[in-house]
Amino acid sequence: IDQNAGNSVILKVNQAGALGDAMEFANLCNKHNYAIIASHRSGDTVDRHLAHIAIGSGSVMMKSGVVGGERISKLNELIRIEETNFINNNMSMPIARVKKYVS
């Protein structure tokens, strides 16, 4: 950041140490206008926490891998959150609509 050597980062909470550390990193990135891409970990489970982390960190994208199996739950969670209108009302950089890609 100090050398202005990039413009985006991949946020992997499991590699950040703790959720608080990951969110502190996300806040620093947002402060310096770095785009954040929230990413799953290899061999991830069916839990939906990544969707919430993506929104909470101000991510512009969420990388969850090939659509299928355990990854559908994360996309479905984004749809549920979008349906509550939280994203549209509270996000400066809304996450792309995923309904047309997931059945």
* Residue 66 token pair: 């090939």
Q: What is the DSSP letter of 34?
A: -
State the pLDDT at residue 29: 93
pLDDT band at 49 (very low <50, low <70, confident <90, very high): confident
pLDDT in tens, 71-100: 777 778 877 877 776 555 555 444 454 444
3-state secondary structure (DSSP) of residue 57 = coil
Quickly state the pLDDT bin for 44 (edges 50, 70, 90).
low
Express as a percent the part of the chain with pLDDT over 70.
68
User: Model-level pTM?
Assistant: 0.69
Please report which confidence band the pLDDT of residue 102 belongs to, taking 50, 70 and 90 as the band edges: very low
| Residues whose CB is less than 8 angstroms from the CB of residue 50 and which lie 6 or more positions away in sequence, other chains included | 38, 39, 40, 44, 62, 64, 74
